[in-house]
Structure 1
């Protein structure tokens, strides 16, 4: 390190960051590195995702890893994961009183199915209805579900947590998870709007 350069991130953070973005994902999911928030913890990293069926974007989300060697209030250790998922939903589904508990179970069941070790999980499920007025009066009414959650991973390998988040995104988009003994993991097929596709 030369004078004026920031210190290198801790090794534990670097190891965890390498596992935040799954190496292989379902073909419906497109991942991208995104800027991470800088004020929540001394070190952070983030990945964003969209779920597609054909050319239609069904869900979007992000997974943020926070690392504070000293830990923070409410954390169980130095790491904290923060997940966000938003998906379009049929209007009749958003009126179902069981939607919140069911959507929350998508997260916890996905974490358990992938063998993720975690603690101090919490979050919210929100239903949103958007109506247009004035110049937007002709816009169709849209309904969405948003899930925000955070939890503390109990080890540095975050691959099982990232896989669970991908499953959560697919469930929110109405795509069932694959059976545990089926390997997915193909590159996403190119869409017509990709620049490299003629």
Structure 2
């Protein structure tokens, strides 16, 4: 059985001891072994009573050998989904969401950040429609990956990466600017 690298153990520990936000539910999820040698996966769901909600997950991946396409041994892969008001669904939404994401994911090597923003508009019919007055539902999905900035010695504060994604999910739902800078650690 191979020995787990010390930097992976430190990353796992940073997630275990991170301060969790009270309005977000956290749940460990498996990381497919085809993605990397080791990984940490966390599913997040915002606890809200409003009709607007966001949820998603983040996987922090580690490869025993430096990957050229990552420019590192570490890589973050994340997904977010948000229900939107129909009026928010327009041609500017993807660009605005991406700009918002770039402001929040600050602990990444800028040249390695990439992803997609997809808008879906769903109209229900028949017994699924609920009422004749129910407007079409719009959803926004974001898929993104980045190479995180490592600490000295090559280790990663994976808990901070999870918190960055939790803040992004919350900001998607509240549509508020963040109260504190992302790079400040609590």
With normalisation by structure 1, the TM-score equals 0.76
- Which ranges in structure 2 are unaligned for 5 or more consecutive residues? 151-155
- 1:159 and 2:159 matched: yes
CA contact (8 A) 1:63 1:81 kept: yes
Question: What is the CA deviation profile of residues 64-118 of structure 1, one whole-angstrom value per residue up to 9, with x for unaligned ones?
Answer: 01111213342010011001110100111111x2211221122221122xxx243
In structure 2, the CA distance between the partners of 1:137 and 1:162, relative to structure 1 (3 Å rule), is: closer
- Cα displacement (A) at 1:20: 3.8
In structure 2, the CA distance between the partners of 1:76 and 1:20, relative to structure 1 (3 Å rule), is: farther
- Cα displacement (A) at 1:34: 1.3
CA contact (8 A) 1:107 1:164 kept: no
- How many aligned positions are there? 174
Which residue number in structure 1 is paired with residue 54 of structure 2? 59
Which residue number in structure 1 is paired with residue 93 of structure 2? 99
Following superposition of structure 1 onto structure 2, how do residues 3-82 of structure 1 map, counting pairs within 5 Å? 6-20=1-15, 23-54=18-49, 58-82=53-77
Which residue number in structure 1 is paired with residue 170 of structure 2? 170
- Which ranges in structure 1 are unaligned for 5 or more consecutive residues? 1-5, 186-198
CA contact (8 A) 1:22 1:162 kept: no
In structure 2, the CA distance between the partners of 1:98 and 1:8, relative to structure 1 (3 Å rule), is: same
Larger helix proportion of the pair: 2
Which residue number in structure 1 is paired with residue 153 of structure 2? none
CA contact (8 A) 1:50 1:57 kept: no
Instruction: State the distance in 2 between where 1:132 and 1:76 align.
Output: 45
- RMSD between superposed Cα atoms in Å: 2.6
CA contact (8 A) 1:51 1:57 kept: no
Question: What is the CA deviation profile of residues 2-50 of structure 1, one whole-angstrom value per residue up to 9, with x for unaligned ones?
Answer: xxxx223211112122224672233221111112222111111100110
